[in-house]
Amino acid sequence: MKCLVCQSSRVVNIFSSVNTHGRHLVNKNDRFTVFRCNKCNLVFLSDIKINKSYYQKYYELGYYDQNSVKENSLLHRFLALISRISIQRKELLIHEYYGTKNHRLSILDVGCGSGNFLLGINSTRFNKYGTEINKEAYDICRRKGLRVVLGSIEKIDFKRKFDVVSLWQVLEHVANPIGLFNKISKVLSSDGLLIFQVPNTDSLGFLYGKDKWFHLDSPRHLFLYNKKSVMALCQQAGFETVAIINEYYDYPLDLFWSIRNSPLKFLIYPLYPFFKLISRESLTFVCKKKSLRATVS
């Protein structure tokens, strides 16, 4: 077995997992083997057949519209506020690293889900487009009035370039990340910006939670990354990293649920905001094509 990103044979079995989604156990009888590449640190599942039945089984109806929090409850309002802050912060990051322009930026949100990010960013600053492979999520976006194309980005002929391409917690679902990044490079303008967020396997949650890690999400998360494995992927696809940002406000309870079975929780829970900040459960990467030289932040 070889690592898909760096082609190394230094691959080891680190633990087994079951079908989970966030903090929820979906099916304990679905078992999977989790591997790690000891060269680039990529963590991945193996022997998963990505076909129509895979998506029907593991992305069942209601997947993109799940909400176990009672509407209008205090927790619901808190999470809605966090979501608005997160989207506003992401919009600021795009403008910060793209630079000042006198035109509306065209943005393509890959794997846009139910369209919350596209709906939340300023329509006076962006021409908004999205792609989504899930028909249910696509229909939700269309009902919201968003311009979304149904299908895999690799198979879509856009007939245009984009100023920004974004992926928010999407890359880990992709079976061919190098192919995806190569296609993004083709549709991204020469001075364009690639911005994406992924769960981070260098986090406390992964280190001490292992198969209970909130972001493990087997078998939907096919590949899991840290800084080293992302840099290896970007290197192969011709991107360079401009900045790496810890968006600690996203998924505010992910570390809480990840370590629920670890003795370490007795230390972390009383000081949760501090450990959530330093854990870096997810990382956001800002990238540009290598032809534009930039200083890593």
Per-residue buried b or exposed e for 79-117, using 16+ beta carbons within 10 Å of the residue's own CB: beeeeeebbeebbebbbebbeeeeeebbbbbbbbbbbbb
Distance CA 279, CA 205 (A): 7
The CATH number that domain 85-289 falls under is 3.40.50.150
Residue 66: left if φ>0, alpha if ψ -120 to 50, beta else—which one? Answer: beta
* Inter-CA distances, 165 with 131, 182, 252, 285, Å: 11, 12, 25, 12
Distance CA 162, CA 149 (A): 15
Residue type, position 202, single letter: D
Which pLDDT tens digits describe the chain residue by residue (297 residues)? 889 888 999 999 999 999 999 999 999 999 999 999 999 999 999 878 898 899 889 987 666 655 555 666 787 788 888 899 999 999 999 999 997 667 899 999 999 999 999 999 999 999 999 999 999 999 999 999 999 999 999 999 998 999 999 999 999 999 999 999 999 999 999 999 999 999 999 999 999 999 999 999 999 999 999 999 999 999 999 999 999 999 999 999 999 999 999 999 999 999 999 999 999 999 999 999 986 444 444
Q: Which residues contact 103 (CB under 8 A, 6 or more apart)?
A: none
Give me the helices (H) in the chain, please. Answer: 52-58, 74-98, 116-120, 135-143, 177-187, 204-209, 227-237, 254-258, 265-268, 272-279
pLDDT of residue 116: 94
| Helix, strand, coil fractions of the chain, as percent rounded to 5 | 35, 30, 35
Residue 115 main-chain phi, psi, to 5 deg: 85, 15
User: Are the beta carbons of 222 and 44 closer than 8 angstroms?
Assistant: yes
pLDDT of residue 77: 83
Query: Taking the domains of the chain in order of start, what are their residue ranges?
Result: 85-289
Strand partners, 18: 31
Residues in the chain: 297
* Exposure on the CB side of residue 155, measured as CA atoms within 13 A: 7
Distance CA 55, CA 53 (A): 5
Task: Return the structure tokens found at 243.
Answer: 């900045």
Per-residue buried b or exposed e for 201-239, using 16+ beta carbons within 10 Å of the residue's own CB: bbbbbbebbbebbbbbbbbbbbbbbbbbbbbbbbeebeb
User: Are the beta carbons of 65 and 130 closer than 8 angstroms?
Assistant: no
Helix 227-237 to helix 177-187 angle, to the nearest 10 degrees? 50
pLDDT of residue 276: 97
Distance CA 50, CA 43 (A): 17
pLDDT of residue 111: 96
